[in-house]
Amino acid sequence: MRTFSILFITCLIIFSCDSNNQAGKDEELINQSKPNVIIIFADDLGYGDLSCYGHPTIHTPHLDQMAQEGIKMTSFYAAACVCTPSRAGLMTGRYPLRVGQPGNLGPDSPAGLSKDERTLAEALKSNGYRTAAFGKWHLGAVPGYLPTDRGFDEYFGILYSNDMMPPWVNTKRPLHLYRNDEPTAEQPVDQTTITKRYTDEAIRFIKESGDDPFFIYLPHSMPHLPVYASAEFQGTSMGGRYGDVIEEIDANVGRILETLKEEGQDENTIVVFTSDNGPWRNMPPRMYNTEPVEKWHGGTTGSLYGAKATSYEGGYRVPAIVRYPGVIPNKQVSAELATTMDIHATILELTNSPLPTKELDGKSIITLLTEGALSPHESYFYFRGKNIEGVRNSDWKLRIGIPADGWTSPELNDKDLPILLQLFNMKDDPFEQFDVAEDHQNVVAMLRNQMEVMAEELGANLAEYKD
> How many other CB atoms sit within 10 Å of the CB of residue 163?
18
Residue-range domain boundaries for the chain: 29-371, 380-458
Please report, for residues 47, 48, 202, 270, 448, the alpha-carbon distance to residue 126 in angstroms, rounded to integers and kept in the order given: 34, 37, 21, 19, 41
Please report, for residues 76, 242, 275, 310, the alpha-carbon distance to residue 399 in angstroms, rounded to integers and kept in the order given: 18, 31, 22, 11
Q: Which residues of the chain have pLDDT under 70?
A: 1-32, 291, 410-415, 466-467
Cβ atoms of 364 and 384 closer than 8 Å:
no
Residue 98 has a pLDDT of 98
| Residue closest to 396 by CA, chosen among 351, 344, 439, 345 | 439
> How many other CB atoms sit within 10 Å of the CB of residue 386?
13
Q: What is the pLDDT of residues 264-298, one digit of tens each?
A: 999 999 999 999 999 999 988 888 877 678 888 99
Residue 193 has a pLDDT of 98
Residue 133 has a pLDDT of 98
Q: What is the pLDDT of residues 6-58, one digit of tens each?
A: 444 444 444 444 444 544 433 443 344 799 999 999 999 999 999 999 999 99
> How many other CB atoms sit within 10 Å of the CB of residue 357?
6
CATH 3.30.1120.10 fits 380-458, yes or no: yes
Residues identified as active-site: 83, 138
Cβ atoms of 314 and 307 closer than 8 Å:
yes
Distance from C-alpha of 97 to C-alpha of 82, rounded to nearest angstrom: 13
| Residue closest to 359 by CA, chosen among 89, 102, 93 | 93
With b for 16 or more beta-carbon neighbours within 10 A and e for fewer, the 262-287 pattern comes to ebebbebbbbbbbbbbbbbbbbeeeb
Distance from C-alpha of 229 to C-alpha of 16, rounded to nearest angstrom: 57
Q: What is the pLDDT of residues 71-107, one digit of tens each?
A: 999 999 999 999 999 999 999 999 999 999 999 999 9
Residues 6+ apart with CB under 8 A from 171: 106, 107, 108, 164, 165
3-state secondary structure the chain: CHHHHHHHHHHHHHHHHHHHHHHHHHHHHHHHCCCEEEEEEECCCCCCCCHHHCCCCCCCHHHHHHHHCCEEECCEECCCCCHHHHHHHHHHCCCCCCCCCCCCCCCCCCCECCCCCCCHHHHHHCCCCEEEEECCCCCECCCCCCHHHCCCCEEEECCCCCCCCCCCCCCCCCCCCEECCEECCCCCCCHHHHHHHHHHHHHHHHHHHCCCCEEEEEECCCCCCCCCCCCCCCCCCCCHHHHHHHHHHHHHHHHHHHHHHHCCCHHHEEEEEEECCCCCCCCCHHHHCCCCCCHHHCCCCCCCCCCCCCCCHHHHECCEEEECCCCCCCCEEECCCEEHHHHHHHHHHHCCCCCCCCCCCCCCCHHHHHHCCCCCCCCEEEEECCEEEEEECCCEEEEEECCCCCCCCCCCCHHHCCCEEEEEECCCCCCCCCCCHHHCHHHHHHHHHHHHHHHHHHCCECCCCCC
Assigned CATH for 29-371:
3.40.720.10
In the Cβ-directed half-sphere of 153, how many Cα atoms lie within 13 Å? 16
Residues 6+ apart with CB under 8 A from 341: 79, 89, 90, 92, 93, 94, 95, 360, 361, 362
